[in-house]
């Protein structure tokens, strides 16, 4: 067994056995255990190969990409990974913990406090970025990536530590000295003791504020019981101007004062309100901007109030005030206009008004969580979070735990309130685990393990029925690949609770249906469910429960090919439709990129258990088409330039900057572009065979067999590949994938001599020998131009040359009509009908329209599908003058003729044409004389081989 493990895994297994730093979840106030900086690569700690796997992958560090389309695309993403400011990603985490965000601006989109659904997915992108950095480091060994990982992990450790304790003052510079900052996204507010207002009938409130966000209804002051009885001073009302209001009968009974202009952001403004003798006045920067002489309500009328808050509203939907406070004073009298104007130049204590006699806070504290009252009444205030604090010290997120709590009682989807919190947790968990496996950073393992302990502490207490309901809710209950990540963590920690946690995500009705091979996918959200099944395969690895593996295997077969588009993608508008409906689901929002990413992951994981070549056929299709084509071919420092949807409608232009960036698909796109080599080679678990799954320029270092395998090719521009063995001698079987589309001419030579045997399309061709340094294996994989038909409309077709999906570049928005048989070769290859574009490999023209590989990441309008039109019978460019007849199912005479290809020569073709024509004439589908004309034309024409 040991001989079959990769070198680094052996080192890691030894490290674990020798005592990998224990996973520790420190009590509040005590830092977690683990090294404070990433260890060198040799110190990585990770799981060994699961015993259930009959083949295993190589590490990204063991396979080096050579020059070609993959390395070109990866280089663009690596540059993005090197240059993007990681403090922007950390901003939302630091804000949630009330820490300084170091002036960083959140990435925006789904990863911003103002993002879609109010930023309820924020934090997910940070996990993706950590995974990308980890893969980049493992692939290149560049220190810049491990340094960035260390920065991010260290910051997340500080965030978790801050979340464990009470919120602490974040001091900033104020108008007269120190002030307190309330970072947007921190959900922090100042809680004043009861009795601030007493039974006063006259009052003045005054505060210096520096708003950092333009959210409506953010409160500077809100004293009240609930949404019935209160008084408040808001920095902005619905019109964007300051408002003071008081009521004892809810919003409809408010007596108020509204300003005339919005407060400037990131600048200090002075707000004051006086209320006396039925008149209220609102001042902004010392100037009266509103007066109401019909204000009959006073603090005395309201009576004792339960809450006295600065920065928080009694209306739960209102935002917490974001910005800074300096000086808040309350007087039991109405200050004069002159007294209020004087407050602009000096502190209240140094002004004619003096400190507030009811409450006076300078907010000049630089630490702790309490604020001294200088009024003489001893009303010490406390800094608090609206949500209190985490239920377990392992909690780590970029938003409060409230989303997780609320999900437990939800009965229907509402992602504006709760948007996939466990999905977001998965991305963070996966990123931390990948960081640990790549660098050996014990802090990352501690954070990941703590997250799982926190999840277990919540989920293990819930009834089974509650869990089943949660995981069945669209979007809100989505949990992504969390089961896979937890199983991978369990393989490192061996903690029983982690495996128990993984099983708490079982969605039994889906698992049981798929295990029984009952297709229930119609109407389901595709990417919510695909990663579930990769997790089930890993659960099978950890538990041996057969239904998990059976369900995953059957599920894959329900998607591929029954819900698969030509490029390998699936879903329309994120959802699945009925089985075998392809033409009927094509639209602008087909083929969500995340779905392709997750189906590739599931395909390779299933292959570890059963070496069905169909999994790798699918892998090649999707990798060489959708995944490559989802990355734009240009650099960008701010965005990864990856598609969300890939519309397959005629003339669609790919959008590489969807929804302002930071979507799920841009996250998985970053990962895809830094692991292109992950499935080029696999090894049999016993080390006796090497699988070559993809023909890709690369070098494999197979340390335990003492050999390197260098694959030199320009595939798919080149129709084949050359593999050179170097290093020592070793005996093993070389298993070369024969693509299912390689129906003729696949050949293998070793050192120039043909290897006997008959390659079978859709299988592996095996060469077994004792390999020596310098042995050269040449694989010839001839391409043919072929079409693939939509199962529900055979006239709607996609064009392939070998593995490459060729798409038309044309701005028209109607389906192109194309004929392809006119110059078909005796082999059945349709390529002679197309004209090559000089100097541009894999580019062709047909009737003046350019066709190019889908993988090219351009913004050209494309046609992935076209309408097949063969109106007349033409052979070798010679028109018979006979209309091409069709059967009721749409099959034409030419379809049946060319279905007999390849032909050994022209005579064989003519013989087949004669037999086909006779059958159609006998069936009344073709006239006798027309049939003879078809045969004469076939005999007269010239054909390419």
Q: In the structure, what pLDDT confidence band is assigned to residue 11 with cuts at 50, 70 and 90? A: very low
Q: Give the pair of three-digit tokens for residue 838.
A: 């000089």
CA angle 150, 164, 306 (to 5 degrees): 140
Q: Phi then psi for 471, rounded to 5 degrees?
A: -75, -15
Q: What is the pLDDT of residue 263?
A: 98
pLDDT of 41 > 60? The answer is no
Three-class SS of residue 219?
strand
Q: In the structure, what pLDDT confidence band is assigned to residue 411 with cuts at 50, 70 and 90? A: very high
Q: How far from 286 is each of 179, 260, 267, CA to CA, in Å?
A: 20, 14, 15
Instruction: Identify whether 561 is preceded by a cis peptide bond (ω within 30 of 0).
Output: yes
For residues 230 and 212, give the distance between their C-alpha atoms in angstroms, rounded to a whole number: 25
Across the range 234-246, mean pLDDT stands at: 97
Q: Give domain limits for the chain.
A: 171-385, 681-715+720-780, 870-945
Is 45 buried (19+), middle (13-18) or exposed (0-12) by CB count in 10 A? Answer: buried
Three-class SS of residue 347?
coil
Three-class SS of residue 359?
strand
234, 282 contact by CB (below 8 A): no
Percent of the chain clearing pLDDT 90 (strictly above): 92
Q: What is the pLDDT of residue 32?
A: 34
CA angle 289, 291, 292 (to 5 degrees): 150
366, 356 contact by CB (below 8 A): no
Three-class SS of residue 104?
coil
490-507 pLDDT tens trace: 999 999 999 999 999 999
265-293 pLDDT tens trace: 999 999 999 999 999 999 999 999 999 99
Q: What is the pLDDT of residue 35?
A: 36
For residues 537 and 717, give the distance between their C-alpha atoms in angstroms, rounded to a whole number: 35
**Pair type for strands 203-211 and 269-276:** antiparallel
For residues 283 and 274, give the distance between their C-alpha atoms in angstroms, rounded to a whole number: 8
- Minimum mean pLDDT among 42-46, 257-261, 681-685, 907-911: which range? 42-46
For residues 483 and 640, give the distance between their C-alpha atoms in angstroms, rounded to a whole number: 27
Hunting for tokens 């070769």 — which residue is that? 825
292-309 pLDDT tens trace: 999 999 999 999 999 999
Instruction: Identify whether 716 is preceded by a cis peptide bond (ω within 30 of 0).
Output: yes
DSSP 584: G
Question: Rg of the Cα trace of the chain?
Answer: 34
217-231 pLDDT tens trace: 999 999 999 999 999
For residues 591 and 642, give the distance between their C-alpha atoms in angstroms, rounded to a whole number: 13
pLDDT of 23 > 60? The answer is no
Q: In the structure, what pLDDT confidence band is assigned to residue 31 with cuts at 50, 70 and 90? A: very low
Is 945 buried (19+), middle (13-18) or exposed (0-12) by CB count in 10 A? Answer: exposed
Q: Which residue has the higher pLDDT, 12 or 534?
A: 534
DSSP 43: G
CA atoms within 13 A on the CB side of 435: 34
Taking alpha carbons only, the member of 576, 628, 569 closest to residue 599 is 569
CA atoms within 13 A on the CB side of 355: 14
Across the range 82-86, mean pLDDT stands at: 97
pLDDT of 30 > 60? The answer is no
Q: In the structure, what pLDDT confidence band is assigned to residue 661 with cuts at 50, 70 and 90? A: confident
Taking alpha carbons only, the member of 806, 816, 800 closest to residue 837 is 806
Taking alpha carbons only, the member of 718, 687, 758, 943 closest to residue 833 is 943
Q: Give the pair of three-digit tokens for residue 534.
A: 């990769």
- Minimum mean pLDDT among 30-34, 92-96, 388-392: which range? 30-34
Across the range 361-390, mean pLDDT stands at: 97
Q: Which CATH class is domain 171-385?
A: mainly beta
Taking alpha carbons only, the member of 321, 195, 314, 192 closest to residue 247 is 314
Q: What is the pLDDT of residue 113?
A: 83
Please report how the helices 496-503 and 526-543 are oriented relative to each other, as an axis angle in degrees rounded to 10: 140
876, 942 contact by CB (below 8 A): yes
Q: How far from 527 is each of 313, 423, 586, 633, CA to CA, in Å?
A: 37, 11, 17, 25
pLDDT of 2 > 60? The answer is no
Q: What is the pLDDT of residue 528?
A: 98
Q: Measured in whole angstroms, how far is the alpha carbon of residue 385 from the centre of its chain?
A: 29
Q: Give the pair of three-digit tokens for residue 910.
A: 């003519």
Q: Give the pair of three-digit tokens for residue 295.
A: 């204000």
Q: Which residue has the higher pLDDT, 34 or 236?
A: 236
Q: Phi then psi for 807, rounded to 5 degrees?
A: -120, 145
Three-class SS of residue 123?
coil
Q: In the structure, what pLDDT confidence band is assigned to residue 38 with cuts at 50, 70 and 90? A: very low
Q: What CA dihedral angle connects 138, 141, 147 and 153, to 10 degrees? A: 10
Question: 99-126: string of b/e by CB count within 10 Å (b at 16+)?
Answer: bebeebebbbbbbbbebbbbbbbbbbbb
Q: What is the pLDDT of residue 20?
A: 31
Beta-bridge mates of residue 808: 851, 863
Percent of the chain clearing pLDDT 70 (strictly above): 95
Q: Which residue has the higher pLDDT, 684 or 661?
A: 684
For residues 399 and 418, give the distance between their C-alpha atoms in angstroms, rounded to a whole number: 11
For residues 485 and 470, give the distance between their C-alpha atoms in angstroms, rounded to a whole number: 19
pLDDT of 333 > 50? The answer is yes
pLDDT of 34 > 60? The answer is no
Beta-bridge mates of residue 618: none
The neighbour count for residue 33, using CB atoms within 10 Å, is 15
pLDDT of 636 > 70? The answer is yes
3-state secondary structure 797-808: EEEEECCEEEEE
For residues 270 and 274, give the distance between their C-alpha atoms in angstroms, rounded to a whole number: 13
Q: Give the pair of three-digit tokens for residue 207.
A: 């505060």
pLDDT of 14 > 50? The answer is no
Across the range 463-483, mean pLDDT stands at: 98
Q: What is the pLDDT of residue 47?
A: 56
CATH domain 681-715+720-780 topology: Immunoglobulin-like (2.60.40)
Q: What CA dihedral angle connects 690, 695, 699 and 703, to 10 degrees? A: -10
768-826 pLDDT tens trace: 999 999 999 999 999 999 999 999 999 999 999 999 999 999 999 999 999 999 999 99
The chain-wide mean pLDDT, for the chain, equals: 94
Confidence (pTM): 0.93
For residues 776 and 725, give the distance between their C-alpha atoms in angstroms, rounded to a whole number: 6
Q: Give the pair of three-digit tokens for residue 211.
A: 């708003």
């Amino acid at each position: 067994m040991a001989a079959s493990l990769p070198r680094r895994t052996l080192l890691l297994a030894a490290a674990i056995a020798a005592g990998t730093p224990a996973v520790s979840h420190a009590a509040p106030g005590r830092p977690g255990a683990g090294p404070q900086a990433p260890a060198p690569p040799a110190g990585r700690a990770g799981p060994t190969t699961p015993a259930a796997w009959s083949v295993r992958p190589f590490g990204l560090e063991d396979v080096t990409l050579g020059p070609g389309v993959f390395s070109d695309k990866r280089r663009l993403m690596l540059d993005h990974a090197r240059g993007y400011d990681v403090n922007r990603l950390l901003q939302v985490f630091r804000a949630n913990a009330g820490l300084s965000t170091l002036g960083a601006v959140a990435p925006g989109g789904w990863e911003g406090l103002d993002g879609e659904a109010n930023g309820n997915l924020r934090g997910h992108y940070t996990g993706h970025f950590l995974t990308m950095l980890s893969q980049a480091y493992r692939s290149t060994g560049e220190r810049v990536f491990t340094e960035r990982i260390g920065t991010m992990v260290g910051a997340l450790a500080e965030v978790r530590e801050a979340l464990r304790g009470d919120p602490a003052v974040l001091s900033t510079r104020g108008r007269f000295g120190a002030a307190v900052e309330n970072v947007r996204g921190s959900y922090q507010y100042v809680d004043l003791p009861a009795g601030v207002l007493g039974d006063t009938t006259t009052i003045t409130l005054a505060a210096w504020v520096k708003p950092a966000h333009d959210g409506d209804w953010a409160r500077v002051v809100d004293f009240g019981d609930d949404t019935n009885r209160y008084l408040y001073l808001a920095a902005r009302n619905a019109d964007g101007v300051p408002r003071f209001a008081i009521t004892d009968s809810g919003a409809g009974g408010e007596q108020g004062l509204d300003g005339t202009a919005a407060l400037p952001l990131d600048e200090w403004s002075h707000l004051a309100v006086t209320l006396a003798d039925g008149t209220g006045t609102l001042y902004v920067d010392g100037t009266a901007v509103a007066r109401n002489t019909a204000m009959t309500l006073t603090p005395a009328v309201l009576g004792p109030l339960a809450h006295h808050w600065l920065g928080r509203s009694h209306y739960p939907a209102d935002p917490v005030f974001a910005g800074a406070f300096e000086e808040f004073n309350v007087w039991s009298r109405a200050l004069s206009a002159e007294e209020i104007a004087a407050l602009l130049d000096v502190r209240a204590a140094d002004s004619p008004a003096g400190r507030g006699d009811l409450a006076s806070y300078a907010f000049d504290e630089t630490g702790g969580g309490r604020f001294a009252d200088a009024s003489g009444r001893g009303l010490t205030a406390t800094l608090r979070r609206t949500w209190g604090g985490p239920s377990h010290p392992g909690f780590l997120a970029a938003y409060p735990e409230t989303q997780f709590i609320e999900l437990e009682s939800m009965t229907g989807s509402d992602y504006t309130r709760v948007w996939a919190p466990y999905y977001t947790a998965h991305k963070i968990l996966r990123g931390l685990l990948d960081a640990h496996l790549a660098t050996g950073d014990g802090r990352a393992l501690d954070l990941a393990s703590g997250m799982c302990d926190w999840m277990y502490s919540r989920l293990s207490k819930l009834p089974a029925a509650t869990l089943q309901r949660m995981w069945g809710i669209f979007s809100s209950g989505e949990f992504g690949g969390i089961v896979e990540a937890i199983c991978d963590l369990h393989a490192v920690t061996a903690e029983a609770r982690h495996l128990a946690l993984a099983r708490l995500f079982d969605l039994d009705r889906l698992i049981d249906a798929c295990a029984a091979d009952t297709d229930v996918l119609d109407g389901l959200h595709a990417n919510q469910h695909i990663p579930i099944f990769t997790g089930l395969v890993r659960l099978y690895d950890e538990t041996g429960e057969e239904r998990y593996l059976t369900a995953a295997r059957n599920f894959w077969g329900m998607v591929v090919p029954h819900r698969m588009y030509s490029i390998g993608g699936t879903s329309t508008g994120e959802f699945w439709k009925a089985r075998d409906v392809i033409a009927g689901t094509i639209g602008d929002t087909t083929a969500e990129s995340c779905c392709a990413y997750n189906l590739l992951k599931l395909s390779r994981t299933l292959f570890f258990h059963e070496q069905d070549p169909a999994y790798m056929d699918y892998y090649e299709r999707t990798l060489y088409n959708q995944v490559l084509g989802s990355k734009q071919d240009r650099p960008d420092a701010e965005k990864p330039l990856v598609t969300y949807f890939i519309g397959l409608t005629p003339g669609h232009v790919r959008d590489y900057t969807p929804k302002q960036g930071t979507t799920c698909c841009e996250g998985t796109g970053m990962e895809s572009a830094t692991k292109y080599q992950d499935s080029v080679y696999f090894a049999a678990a016993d080390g006796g065979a090497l699988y070559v799954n993809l023909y890709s320029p690369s070098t494999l270092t197979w340390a335990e067999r003492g050999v390197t395998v260098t694959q030199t090719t320009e595939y798919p521009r080149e129709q084949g590949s050359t593999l050179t063995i170097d290093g020592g001698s070793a005996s093993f079987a070389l298993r070369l994938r024969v693509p299912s589309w390689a129906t003729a001419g696949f050949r293998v030579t070793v050192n120039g001599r043909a290897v006997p045997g008959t390659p079978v399309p859709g299988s592996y061709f095996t060469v077994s020998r004792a390999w020596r340094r310098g042995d050269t294996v040449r694989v010839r994989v001839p391409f043919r131009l072929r079409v693939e038909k939509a199962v529900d409309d055979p006239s709607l077709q996609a064009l392939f040359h070998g593995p490459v999906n060729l798409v038309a570049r044309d701005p028209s928005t109607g389906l192109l009509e194309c004929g392809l048989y006119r110059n078909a070769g005796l082999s059945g290859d349709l390529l002679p009908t197309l004209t090559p574009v000089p100097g541009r490999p894999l580019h062709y023209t047909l009737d003046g329209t350019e066709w190019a590989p889908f993988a090219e990441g351009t913004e050209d309008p494309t046609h992935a599908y076209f309408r097949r039109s063969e109106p007349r019978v033409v052979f070798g460019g010679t028109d018979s003058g006979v209309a091409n007849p069709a059967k009721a199912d749409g099959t034409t005479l030419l379809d049946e003729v060319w279905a007999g290809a390849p032909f050994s020569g022209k005579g064989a073709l003519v013989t087949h044409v004669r037999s086909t024509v006779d059958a159609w004439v006998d069936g009344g589908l073709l006239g006798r004389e027309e049939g003879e004309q078809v045969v004469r034309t076939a005999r007269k024409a010239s054909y390419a081989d």
